[in-house]
Structure 1
Amino acid sequence: MPRNQLPPADFTAGKWPDAELVPDAPPEAVIGRALVLKLQGRMKALKWSAREVARRAGVSHGTVNRVLAGEVLADTATIVRLELALQVDLYPAGLWAQIAERAAPVADGGAA
């Protein structure tokens, strides 16, 4: 996470991640919250602790705890490792439509 970027949990009006995000939350906070909600749900279904998830994913339990707390965004490598360990998609596919509603429209000719 860039040094000047606020943690995702800073963009909720209540308890992370259950509270709704504030209207001007950046896209990465939207993605971070969606990922954490999926991660928590899968951990609950498997009855795994953050330490167990970390062990199986090959990441530190501190990283898992910080992601769950909304203190940091998980990087791509961590997301992949978590998905493999949990055997579930964590990255929120199709979330671009929800984020697009919050963001400014793409300029004409902005094809990548």
Structure 2
Amino acid sequence: MKVNQTDVVDPGEDWDRGPGGCEMEPKERRASPATLSPKWPDQPSSNPAGEAARRFAVNLRAAIGDKPVRAVARDAGIDEGTIRKILVGQSWPDLRTIWGLESALEAELYTR
């Protein structure tokens, strides 16, 4: 695909504008799962999404057991750092990550 000069985004462009120049609200930064539990991952969260992430991390840790995280990441086709961030509650697992981990570990990690 050929890129024309007009296709390149000007770094000075107004990024606070949406389609048609409409003003958009700044995106609020989402709290990490660990901040939603008083003692991650040992204590439940009162936030439903935080609790789902906590249970996922607990299930993931149990399913990994004594396997190297690097090997699990390779088998799941995801980055090792992603798994480590999920385990310590720094990151929210997305659907692709959940599916890859459940497939690689042959375990149901996300429960409702």
Calculate the TM-score normalised by the size of structure 2.
0.71
Amino acid at match of 1:78: T
Percent of aligned positions that are identical: 31
What is the root-mean-square deviation of aligned Cα atoms in Å? 1.5
Cα displacement (A) at 1:20: 2.8
Distance 1:20 1:81 in 2: 25
Distance 2:103 2:28 in 1: 29
| 1:5 aligns to 2:30 (yes or no) | yes
**Runs ≥4 in structure 1, deviation > 3 angstroms?**
none
Cα displacement (A) at 1:19: 2.2
| Runs of at least 5 residues in structure 2 that lack an aligned partner in the other structure | 1-26
Partner residue of 1:43? 64
| Runs of at least 5 residues in structure 1 that lack an aligned partner in the other structure | 96-112
| 1:30 aligns to 2:55 (yes or no) | no
Which of 69, 94, 103 is the equivalent residue of 2:88? 69
Calculate the TM-score normalised by the size of structure 1.
0.71
Higher normalized contact order (CA 8 Å, seq sep 6+, divided by chain length): 1
Contact in 1 for aligned 2:37/2:50 (Cα 8 Å): no
